[in-house]
């Protein structure tokens, strides 16, 4: 199993959690993840990790932050077999 990477643009403090949309960021095309959690003490990052895992149909443990702990532009590593989650990611980037 080869880990995959997912670039994310975070919108903390949103009215509700939402995963979807495309942002051309510094790490390439990124999926936009809006979370209601504030950008304080890593709460938004944890909320993004869980929301991304749910949107990709994965357990939260399969999604791990690789880059961007204090940035709105993050890269997560996905340790799950390729295939279905990659198709879901492609749909989220629309």
Please, which pLDDT band fits residue 84 given cuts at 50, 70 and 90?
confident
Q: What is the pLDDT of residue 2?
A: 58
Q: What is the pLDDT of residue 28?
A: 94
Distances in Å between the Cα of 62 and the Cα atoms of 26, 34, 47, 67, 81 are 24, 20, 14, 16, 10
Architecture of domain 4-92 in this structure: 2-Layer Sandwich (3.30)
Taking only the tens place, the pLDDT of each residue in 48-82 is: 999 999 999 999 999 999 999 999 999 999 998 88
As to burial, measured by CB atoms within 10 angstroms (0-12 exposed, 13-18 middle, 19+ buried), residue 53 is buried
Domain ranges, ordered by start, for the chain: 4-92
Taking only the tens place, the pLDDT of each residue in 1-57 is: 457 999 999 999 999 999 999 999 999 999 999 999 999 999 999 999 999 999 999
């Amino acid at each position: 199993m080869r880990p995959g990477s997912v670039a994310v643009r975070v919108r903390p403090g949103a009215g509700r959690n939402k995963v979807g949309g495309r942002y051309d960021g510094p790490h390439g095309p990124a999926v936009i993840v809006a979370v209601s959690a504030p950008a304080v003490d890593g709460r938004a990052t944890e909320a993004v990790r869980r929301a991304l895992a749910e949107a990709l149909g994965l357990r939260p443990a399969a999604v791990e932050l690789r880059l961007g702990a204090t940035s709105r532009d993050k890269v997560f590593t996905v340790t799950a077999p390729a295939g279905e989650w990659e198709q879901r990611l492609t749909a989220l980037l629309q």
